[in-house]
Structure 1
Amino acid sequence: MLNKQSFKRDTSGNFGLTFGFLAVPVMLAGGLAVDYAGLSLDRSALQNAADAAALAVAREGNIPNWQAEDIARNVISANYGFSVAQLSVSLNDGVASVKAGIDRPLVFGGIVGKKTMPVTVNAEATFAYTKYEIALVLDTTGSMAGGKLVSMQNAVIGLIEGMSDLGLEEDQIKFALVPYAGFVNVGPEYGPTINGLGMIVKPGADWLDQDAKAPVPQSDLPSNLSRFALFKHLNVKWPGCVETRVPKKNALHDVDDTVPDVSDVNSLFTPFFAVDEPDEARKYPNSYLPDEGAPIKGKNATEADKEEQLSRYGQTGKYVKPNNVVAALLQMLKWKKPKIDNSPSSFYSNKKDPKGPAFGCEVEPLVPLTSKASDITKTVKKLEASGSTNMLEGVMWGWRVLSSREPFTGGASESDSSVEKIMIFLTDGQNSFGNLNNNLGSGYTSMGYLVDGRLDNLTAASSAQTNNALDKKTLAACTNAKEDGIEIYTIRLEETDTGTGTLLSECASSKSHYFDAPSRSQLSPIFDTIKKGVVKLRITS
């Protein structure tokens, strides 16, 4: 029998009784904590889903509300699993608002009379006020003829229209267009006006070498002969193409956007002029004048030889540069007008353009930065396929139209952080110098002829060597452009060459900026992906 003292000391039953009384509220509290944690997790996930949906809707610009709701629902369902979310979506003045809600089942809610708890979140997204300057650098070489060219045109126009539909202010988005092949056409309107005496009566752009002052290595024309004057003499309009600038020591004019300065003639751009090639149809694509005993001599031609070679163009007697009106008049009295054979060239299987001093510059002139998207689409529709692939000139002129520096100054200052400068570069082929088995080593290129040695001093080389040298210069141009703040997207279209793929991948700003399109049908989705990558959005709530 327990005595009174023992009974007082035996308290184990009290603990059991107390635990029994407390078990229910403890379990209830624990259950509610589990439900609360679940609600918090779902609220966080649903907020992320709503933010993503708002960004997706805002990216599309001005679209109907029903379409905005479909986009938001797909984003939330596909990426976050909230397939039964209640949604409300609206678009006002470029701001996408998304309200999303779910009824979350409660594990222990029945204890307090609730089986579910509503979870509701709100999200808003809009465009960050960023200005966009976009250069479309497009391959228009002969291999683009047919379906590839049409697919590219449709994809580019789709990008332009899609960007224009985003509801941006007029000053927020500008496009430039740079079609390229063997040359880039900067526009014939920048050339000077020349009179019948071969003299400039109205200067052209001061970044052009109008007076033939730059010491450009060439096989046929005297170093001091104005190409503009020769065009005038032959009664042919300068088509607007220019050559690649020649680097001088540390001034890498060919792969850097150095400013053209009249005080440095090497920095000026030499106008295109396709010389009359020797009368050997099997070796040369552009013989348009009779040789008359003074054909182009090529690599070993002296300055005296070049002056003598002018006899093909109608020069009689000794050539003297016309540096004043009297000298010009006397000079022109010695010239006769030759008759140009401008029949279609039959040398290349995919190029039937007329022969003459403009042969090779069939590319459409570039369009500098403009807020008028219609100017770009109009030119895109006019693009035709002709010529070989010169990626270097495409990249360089794509960079130049985005730059605030001469020769085109429409780009915003490179120090303006509110501007995104973007180059979209497309090609369907490898770099090609156009090597030929003749005395000049190639057709006429933006670096003259191979024998002129303007490509890494190569005067005789295989196609593999010249193409590799062009690839290296193209990559250097891309690298320099990126260091100048240009964001570069590249697209390889129906081209299996691994070297070209590597080049374009390294030219691009990142791996995700490079697109390989084995089929032309992939171009529109690629340009749509680029559009979404270009547009900068921000969450506003």
Structure 2
Amino acid sequence: MLLALAVVPIFASVGLAVDSSMGYLLRTRMSKALDTAGLAAGRLALNANAEDIARQYFDANFEASGGSVELTSFNFELTPDRKFVTLTAEAVAPTIFMRVFGRDTMTVSSRTVIRRQTTGMELALVLDNTGSMWGTAFDTMQQAAFDLVDILYGEDTVVDNLWVSLVPYTATVNIGSGHSGWLAAGDRVNLSPGDYSTAGWKGCVEARATPLDTDDTPPSGGAFTSYFYASTTRTQDNNWPAILPELWRRNDGRGPNLGCGPAITSLTPSRTTIDAAIANMGAWHRGGTTGNLGLSWGWRTISPRWRGLWGGETPATHPLDYGTPFMDKVVVILTDGQNQFYDHDSGALPRSDYTAYGRLEALGVTSLSQGRAILDGRMASTCSAMKAEGIRIYTITFGASPDSTAQALFRNCASTPAMYRHAPTNADLSDAFRAIGGELANLRIVE
């Protein structure tokens, strides 16, 4: 009788230990699944489907042991500043030994908290502002850029060690009229500024002779020439002196700055400044697309060889050296088409509009396809040189226009194939920017 009485507590103790071990293993699996789901949700914090994505990741990583475990709750919480993602889950599992004592099930719960924290970074956004972006495509790109900035800053206006530049590009790039000191001494801006009439030089420059158009050599190693779209005899090309600044964004615009888009915003810590620069962008017709020059100028905004040159909100200590501890250098470049010369005259000589390279003939070729091949080759050289310095490059092709050649160029330009995204639709573009923003934000499990 004494032995029988002793067996009962022993059996209960063994049963409790066995069932507790099973509960512990179940909770461990649940915690790992929540961590995975939380990290996925943290990368997509601005995505309306973040909760659904989190649940999909949780379900994929938490197996219900052949149906014997019942998930009774799954909760997703995102703080208003989107810095913390909290996931909780609860499940009921059957017991094995403890059911003898009236405990048929046990409840297991787990909780994880993910903190989104932006890494130290100098980030250049290099965005296509050519005329083909006009309309909803441009609106979508702007909103996607705002979303990326929102992910990085959250509700803050300044984040420690986060610096962002914006480089809009068309068939040329606008360095800002305040940087006339980077021009050659004999440039028309310095000797005869009246050539630009009352409008003045807007700030666009021509490409320097190769290889200086592909690298980050500062002005001391090669001065720039101001962009000047000379008057022609045909209205379809650029017959002026009728200068109509309000029409520069349209194909019927005129003047020496025709096709010159908004100026570069150099590295700034201010979210307000970068948001205003994004809002000020616009689709500027004429000339074509020189994504290679946009990329070169994006590099120059974060290259230490340009330290102290930019002025404005960029201090004399920036850009920082390559390899500065806890600081990344990142470029995101987008196009909705391909590098190309464009001819608004529809085939009449000259063979293209004016660009940062002059007319197509200035490159010693006569066909648009030959011109594209040259621009693509120079962009590939810039990509390789930037990656050799450890710069992380994200590339995006947007819409239906980028052909297989353009997609291959941008895919190969990216630091890794996974850092290239083709976004056929507006929704895809929004998702691409949010995904990149999530990757640029450090995610830490804090609870």
> TM-score range with shorter-chain normalisation?
0.7 to 0.9
1:106–1:378 Cα change, 3 Å: same
Within-5 A mapping of 1:111-260 = 111=100, 113-127=102-116, 130-165=119-154, 170-191=159-180, 204=181, 208-212=182-186, 226-233=188-195, 235-236=197-198, 237-247=200-210, 252-260=211-219
1:351–1:234 Cα change, 3 Å: closer
1:445–1:368 Cα change, 3 Å: same
Amino acid in the other structure paired with 1:80: F
Within-5 A mapping of 1:479-518 = 479-494=384-399, 495-518=401-424
Within-5 A mapping of 1:78-89 = 79-80=61-62, 83-85=71-73
Amino acid in the other structure paired with 2:374: A
Displacement after TM superposition at 1:365 (Å): 0.9
Alpha-carbon separation, structure 1, partners of 2:162 and 2:58: 30
Displacement after TM superposition at 1:466 (Å): 1.2
Q: How many aligned positions are there?
A: 418
Q: Which moved more, 1:70-79 or 1:101-110?
A: 70-79
Amino acid in the other structure paired with 1:84: T
SS of alignment partner, residue 232 of structure 1: helix
SS of alignment partner, residue 396 of structure 2: strand
Q: Is the 8 A contact 1:60 1:166 kept in 2?
A: no
2:66 corresponds in structure 1 to none
Q: Is the 8 A contact 1:104 1:117 kept in 2?
A: yes
SS of alignment partner, residue 358 of structure 2: coil
Alpha-carbon separation, structure 2, partners of 1:379 and 1:87: 38
Alpha-carbon separation, structure 2, partners of 1:465 and 1:68: 45
Identity level (%): 31
Displacement after TM superposition at 1:228 (Å): 3.2
1:87–1:428 Cα change, 3 Å: closer
Displacement after TM superposition at 1:516 (Å): 1.7
Candidates 271, 276, 282, aligned match of 1:384: 282
SS of alignment partner, residue 395 of structure 1: helix
Displacement after TM superposition at 1:395 (Å): 0.9
Q: Is the 8 A contact 1:395 1:474 kept in 2?
A: yes
Within-5 A mapping of 1:343-358 = 351-355=251-255, 357-358=256-257
> Structure 1 residue 463 and structure 2 residue 374: aligned?
no
CA displacement 1:470-528 (0-9 Å, x = unmatched)? 11111221222222232222221212411111111112222222222222233222222
Alpha-carbon separation, structure 2, partners of 1:169 and 1:187: 24
SS of alignment partner, residue 339 of structure 2: coil
2:354 corresponds in structure 1 to 444
TM-score by length of 1: 0.67
Alpha-carbon separation, structure 2, partners of 1:68 and 1:518: 21
Amino acid in the other structure paired with 2:380: L
Candidates 381, 389, 394, aligned match of 2:294: 394
Q: Which moved more, 1:267-276 or 1:86-95?
A: 86-95
Q: Is the 8 A contact 2:79 2:85 kept in 1?
A: yes
SS of alignment partner, residue 278 of structure 2: helix
Q: Which moved more, 1:166-175 or 1:142-151?
A: 166-175
Candidates 260, 270, 279, aligned match of 1:372: 270
The CA RMSD measured in Å over matched residues stands at: 4.0
Alpha-carbon separation, structure 1, partners of 2:251 and 2:78: 54
2:431 corresponds in structure 1 to 525
2:5 corresponds in structure 1 to none
CA displacement 1:71-102 (0-9 Å, x = unmatched)? 87675456536732476979699565656543
Could you tell me which runs of 5 or more consecutive residues in structure 1 were left unpaired when the two chains were aligned: 1-23, 192-203, 213-224, 289-339, 454-458
Q: Is the 8 A contact 2:157 2:272 kept in 1?
A: no
Could you tell me which runs of 5 or more consecutive residues in structure 2 were left unpaired when the two chains were aligned: 1-7, 64-69
Within-5 A mapping of 1:249-328 = 252-261=211-220, 264=221, 267-277=222-232, 279=233, 281=234, 285-288=237-240
Q: Is the 8 A contact 2:128 2:168 kept in 1?
A: yes
Alpha-carbon separation, structure 2, partners of 1:98 and 1:440: 63
Amino acid in the other structure paired with 1:286: N
CA displacement 1:217-251 (0-9 Å, x = unmatched)? xxxxxxxx64432333553411101111213xxxx
Alpha-carbon separation, structure 2, partners of 1:467 and 1:163: 35
1:200 corresponds in structure 2 to none
1:129–1:515 Cα change, 3 Å: closer
Within-5 A mapping of 1:102-113 = 102-111=91-100, 113=102
Q: Is the 8 A contact 2:158 2:271 kept in 1?
A: no
CA displacement 1:398-427 (0-9 Å, x = unmatched)? 122222331446433322131232222111
Amino acid in the other structure paired with 2:237: P
CA displacement 1:191-229 (0-9 Å, x = unmatched)? 2xxxxxxxxxxxx3xxx13313xxxxxxxxxxxx64432
> Structure 1 residue 49 and structure 2 residue 38: aligned?
no
Displacement after TM superposition at 1:285 (Å): 1.3
Alpha-carbon separation, structure 2, partners of 1:476 and 1:102: 55
SS of alignment partner, residue 405 of structure 1: helix
Q: Is the 8 A contact 1:55 1:126 kept in 2?
A: no
> Structure 1 residue 432 and structure 2 residue 432: aligned?
no
2:445 corresponds in structure 1 to 539
Q: Is the 8 A contact 2:88 2:112 kept in 1?
A: yes
Alpha-carbon separation, structure 1, partners of 2:75 and 2:250: 57
TM-score by length of 2: 0.79
Amino acid in the other structure paired with 1:47: S
Q: More strand by proportion, 1 or 2?
A: 2
1:88–1:463 Cα change, 3 Å: closer
2:243 corresponds in structure 1 to 342
Displacement after TM superposition at 1:33 (Å): 8.6
Q: Is the 8 A contact 2:158 2:269 kept in 1?
A: no
Displacement after TM superposition at 1:69 (Å): 9.1
Q: Is the 8 A contact 1:227 1:273 kept in 2?
A: no
